[in-house]
Amino acid sequence: MNGFALGVDQETWCGQLRALSADRLRPLAEKGEPGRVNRPLLAALGELGLLERVFTAGALELCLLRESLAYGCTEAETALALQGLGAYPVLRAGSAEQRERWLPGVRAGRAVAAFALSEPGAGSDAAALELAAAPAPGGGWLLTGRKRWISNAPEADFYTVFARTGEGPGAKGVSAFLVPADRPGLTGEPLDMLSPHPIGALAFDAVPVGPADLLGEPGRGFRVAMDTLNLFRPSVGAFAVGMARAALDATLAYTAVRSAFGGTLSDLQAVGHRVAEMATRTEAARLLVYAAAGAHDAGSPDVPRRAAMAKLLATETAQYVVDHAVQLHGAVALQRGHLLEHLYREVRAPRIYEGASEVQRSIIAKELYREAAAG
């Protein structure tokens, strides 16, 4: 990457991914059941080597991957991202035994991973989680409580679970565990959500975990969560940019040929100005996502601020672009099965998950004041 311009090889790769997602992955996605894990789709992502790229790519490459897949098949993008989100803590903080046991299956699309942080009373305020990890009589801990709005639940094969072990107040008393789905006392149920990908709730009834299940050190689980989110937040922005670009291109194609008032919609200044605004915002969001990814890959200390800015602007922009694309298409875009009807349902959730827009603004402000105080 030279400045903010992609190289020829990168542009070629992104074009290949867009074609692959539309031609190879979208048909598999369309055969899946909304709200359920699509294992044939995951297997295809593994066979194509795309899941492997999630664990070997830097932040910029991950963003290019997610943006390109989202353009052609949002279900494929989401399935890939959820594998990364659920398993990345194992890659970064897991033991050799944990990595050897689970990561080959995740990379191949055979084992389904899930990131279990949110709770009924602790969504955006992740440090307020209440899932209790009480000391067990024979050693280890017993997990008791609930998780909610967990992607891939309850069908995942294992969960990265964050629980309160109590080494300190707030975030200092949180530990991370790798919990297989067949662990006794762990149950779950699907939630009927607006987004088409699987989301569920989990109940922990004295679920036993031991030192071998820890991801990292006791009391350091919140750092495991934040390291994961700092990588994936810019790429959530890339997912949003992919949706915005798909909506923009659909709008350009439609308004150029749709007859209206003796010409085409594109002849109307109001339409042209609207499309220009959509394109400008999309490009601005795309560049900010790349800048945040580049900062992450360079080890910059301002990654939390840049990641929050990228996710905030890109997800808010995608909402704007998709909404105006629907408006310019009219009623046809509201029909079930239309690309924009699909994107309209998909685009809303990213403004909430992995830190709502309001949380991103708080992070940005906090980081700005911290940097100012440091001189």
SS3 label, residue 32: coil
CA distance 186 to 146: 10
Looking at residue 370, its pLDDT comes to 94
Same domain? 240 vs 363: yes
Give the CATH number for residue 27: 1.10.540.10
Residues whose CB is less than 8 angstroms from the CB of residue 246 and which lie 6 or more positions away in sequence, other chains included: 70, 71, 72, 339, 343
Residue 3 belongs to a domain: no
Looking at residue 168, its pLDDT comes to 76
Neighbours of 158 (CB within 10 A): 25
Best CA proximity match to 59, nearest among 287, 227, 234, 226: 234
Same domain? 96 vs 129: no
Tens place of pLDDT for every residue, the chain, 375 residues? 444 677 889 999 999 999 999 999 999 999 999 889 999 999 999 999 999 999 998 999 999 999 999 999 999 999 999 999 999 999 999 999 999 999 999 999 999 999 999 999 877 676 788 999 999 998 999 999 999 999 999 999 999 999 999 877 777 889 999 999 999 999 999 999 888 789 999 999 999 999 999 999 999 999 999 888 888 888 999 999 999 999 999 999 999 999 999 999 999 999 999 999 999 999 999 999 999 999 999 999 999 999 999 999 999 999 999 999 999 999 999 999 999 999 999 999 999 988 899 999 999 999 999 999 998
Looking at residue 354, its pLDDT comes to 86
Residues whose CB is less than 8 angstroms from the CB of residue 301 and which lie 6 or more positions away in sequence, other chains included: none
CA distance 328 to 317: 16
Residue 125: φ, ψ to 5°: -90, 75
Q: For the chain, how many structural domains are there in total?
A: 3
CA distance 251 to 298: 36
Best CA proximity match to 283, nearest among 273, 293, 291, 295: 291
Give the CATH number for residue 135: 2.40.110.10
Residue 242 belongs to a domain: yes
Half-sphere exposure of 212 (CA within 13 A, CB side): 5
Residue 28 belongs to a domain: yes
Show which of 188, 219, 250 is a domain's final residue.
219
SS3 label, residue 215: coil
CA distance 157 to 108: 13
Looking at residue 3, its pLDDT comes to 47
Same domain? 80 vs 177: no
Residue 2 belongs to a domain: no
CB 224 within 8 A of CB 89: yes
Give the CATH number for residue 290: 1.20.140.10
Same domain? 177 vs 198: yes
Same domain? 326 vs 350: yes
Residue 250 belongs to a domain: yes
**pLDDT > 90: what percent of the chain?**
85
Same domain? 364 vs 235: yes
Q: Strand 113-116 to strand 158-164: parallel, antiparallel, or no bridges (unpaired)?
A: parallel
Same domain? 355 vs 231: yes
Show which of 74, 108, 142 is a domain's final residue.
108
- Two structure tokens written together for 8: 């020829």
CB 325 within 8 A of CB 248: yes
Element (H, E) at 116: strand 113-116
Same domain? 132 vs 263: no
Residue 177 belongs to a domain: yes
Same domain? 31 vs 168: no
CA distance 19 to 177: 38
DSSP 128: G
Residue 158 belongs to a domain: yes
For the annotated catalytic residues, the residue numbers are 354
Show which of 87, 108, 129 is a domain's final residue.
108
Residue 1 belongs to a domain: no
Half-sphere exposure of 4 (CA within 13 A, CB side): 10
Same domain? 80 vs 147: no
Domain residues for the domain of 82 are 8-108
